[in-house]
């Protein structure tokens, strides 16, 4: 446990970095005020176990909170749950660890798992004996660092391309013809020639912009450790060329995923890069839509970044509590409960059994299951807490190139220099 004690000396630094690492890029939107009956830690001997989650939009009458309490009942304890805004939750988790007052179960956005693990806040699945054998390896990788796994993904979401069937029909474009970058760009040219708008996405200078850029970056075969590779430059050149040719609007430079979706919802655009969480809004647009995976440069589905949360067990002074915490986590992530949870949270389940059930119940989710299977964690490849130090230079490069301040090659070279200096 010595490494954990050493890690706790880094909690202050982790608090400073956490807002960069978390970014609510792919999470369900939620109010910032905490929700729940108890924001503090229950006493160790009182038969009460605390659970903190990033879903303050769900109150005590929701299916989510009912599930938490049901799991408590099943293992013979009372659950005290509090929901916080994503960033607020991570900061509170770090502060609670400093004070030796962590919750028993913690559900956090997957990019900050490595931050909490490095700071000594989380136990590994080896310590708590959590079974991860049925979890899709690409989703589990977001919670892995230094050969250890810190928690279990409760569900995942990712990005794909929504398309307006009417706009494509007018332009004489079949959605099935879009299989790679060349065919997508050709489709955008036809849409523009038909008097409509091409594609909208979010390239804002925040983690949200990096999140949307990664499918194109990874889809070119680029690696986050080499931003200025030919593949990395090609991905930024793709976006830059779209703006120059009028296939994408200049507004993408400031677009969040919400404002980008609002543009698509006008009915003028052929495509929108967005996530699973927009499905309900898609049904409200008033026009027919479809969804296809984001294509890789040379074909196939591009790896898109995974969003969603991990459920884990924070370090406790009393290690005897881990046995019950493990049972609570196992209950929450069981096959039976996973379907209900991921339906409630608009997530794709992390196991193939539940994914199959989701598609059976809702065939529209098939494309999202395919996208999640191809997806990749931002902190995967053992990047861990290095990721935010790479992401920020990357989004700055995007902004520089899209605004015309720098050429893609120059922008990515500057980004690589900044990232290399930060992660050494």
pLDDT confidence of residue 177: 97
Q: Which of 31-40, 155-164, 262-271 is least confident?
A: 31-40
Fold of 159-304+384-423: D-Maltodextrin-Binding Protein; domain 2 (3.40.190)
Indicate if 159-304+384-423 has the same CATH topology as 2-157+307-374. Answer: yes
SS3 259: helix
Q: For residue range 35-75, list pLDDT tens digits in order.
A: 554 434 443 444 899 999 999 989 999 999 999 999 999 99
Backbone angles phi, psi at 297, to 5 degrees: -55, -45
pLDDT confidence of residue 86: 82
Domain ranges of the chain: 2-157+307-374, 159-304+384-423
Query: What is the edge-to-edge ordering of all strands in the sheet holding 269-275?
Result: 197-200, 269-275, 159-164, 289-292
Q: Across 15-29, 108-122, 331-345, which has the greatest mean pLDDT?
A: 108-122
**CATH homologous superfamily of 2-157+307-374:** Periplasmic binding protein-like II (3.40.190.10)
Q: For residue range 304-335, list pLDDT tens digits in order.
A: 999 999 999 999 999 999 999 999 999 999 98
Q: Which of 17-31, 95-109, 232-246 is least confident?
A: 17-31
Q: For residue range 174-233, list pLDDT tens digits in order.
A: 999 999 999 999 999 999 999 999 999 999 999 999 999 999 999 999 999 999 999 999
Mean pLDDT of the 120-146 span? 94
SS3 323: helix
What does the block give as tokens for 398? 């995007």
pLDDT confidence of residue 299: 97
8/15 Cα distance (integer angstroms): 11
Q: For residue range 94-119, list pLDDT tens digits in order.
A: 999 999 999 999 999 998 999 999 99
Instruction: Assess contact for 11 and 98: CB atoms under 8 A.
Output: yes
pLDDT confidence of residue 87: 77
Which secondary-structure segment (H or E) carries 145?
Answer: strand 144-145
Q: How far apart are the first and last CA of the chain?
A: 26
pTM here? 0.84
pLDDT confidence of residue 387: 93
pLDDT confidence of residue 394: 98
- Nearest of 360, 381, 336, 424 to residue 224 by alpha carbon: 381
What does the block give as tokens for 23? 């970014």
pLDDT > 70: percent of the chain: 89
Query: CA dihedral in degrees (257, 65, 71, 319; nearest 10)?
Result: 70
The DSSP symbol for 363 reads G
pLDDT range class, residue 363, cuts 50, 70, 90: very high
pLDDT confidence of residue 31: 39
Instruction: Assess contact for 94 and 15: CB atoms under 8 A.
Output: yes
Which secondary-structure segment (H or E) carries 372?
Answer: helix 366-374
- Nearest of 373, 258, 280, 264 to residue 25 by alpha carbon: 258
Per the prediction, the chain carries an average pLDDT of 89
150 has a pLDDT exceeding 50: yes
């Amino acid at each position: 446990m010595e490494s954990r004690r050493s890690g706790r000396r880094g909690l202050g630094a982790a608090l400073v970095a956490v807002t960069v690492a978390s970014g609510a890029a792919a999470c369900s939107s939620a109010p910032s005020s905490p929700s729940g009956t108890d924001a503090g830690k229950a006493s160790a001997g009182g038969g009460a176990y605390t659970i903190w989650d990033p879903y303050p939009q769900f109150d005590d009458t929701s299916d989510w909170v009912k599930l938490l309490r049901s799991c408590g009942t099943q293992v013979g304890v009372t659950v005290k749950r509090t929901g916080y805004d994503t960033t607020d939750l991570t900061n509170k988790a770090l502060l609670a660890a400093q004070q030796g007052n962590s919750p028993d179960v913690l559900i956090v956005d997957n990019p900050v798992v490595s931050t909490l693990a490095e700071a000594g806040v989380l136990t590994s699945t080896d310590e708590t004996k959590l079974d991860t054998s049925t979890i899709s390896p690409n989703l589990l990788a977001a919670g892995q660092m230094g050969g250890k796994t810190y928690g279990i993904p409760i569900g995942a979401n990712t990005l794909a391309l929504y398309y307006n069937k009417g706009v494509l029909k007018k332009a004489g474009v079949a959605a099935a013809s879009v299989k790679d970058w060349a065919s997508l760009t050709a489709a955008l040219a036809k849409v523009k020639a038909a008097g409509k708008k091409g594609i909208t996405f979010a390239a804002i200078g925040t983690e949200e912009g990096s999140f949307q850029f990664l499918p194109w970056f990874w889809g070119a075969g680029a690696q986050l450790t080499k931003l200025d590779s030919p593949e990395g430059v090609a991905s930024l050149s793709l976006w830059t060329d779209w703006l120059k040719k009028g296939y994408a609007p200049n507004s993408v430079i400031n677009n969040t995923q919400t404002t980008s979706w609002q543009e698509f919802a006008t009915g003028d655009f052929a495509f929108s890069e967005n996530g699973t969480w927009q499905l309900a809004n898609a049904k409200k647009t008033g026009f027919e839509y479809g969804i296809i995976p984001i294509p890789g440069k040379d074909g196939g589905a591009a790896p898109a970044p995974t969003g969603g949360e991990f459920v884990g067990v924070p370090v406790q002074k009393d290690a005897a509590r881990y046995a019950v915490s493990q049972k609570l986590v196992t209950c929450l992530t069981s096959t039976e409960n996973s379907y209900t949870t991921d339906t409630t949270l608009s997530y794709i389940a992390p196991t193939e059994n539940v994914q199959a059930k989701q598609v059976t119940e809702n065939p529209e989710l098939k494309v999202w299951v395919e996208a999640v299977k191809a997806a990749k964690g931002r902190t995967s490849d053992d990047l861990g807490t290095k990721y935010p130090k790479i992401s920020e230079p990357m989004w700055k490069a995007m902004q520089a190139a899209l605004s015309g301040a720098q050429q893609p090659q120059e922008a990515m070279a500057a980004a690589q220099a900044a990232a290399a200096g930060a992660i050494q």
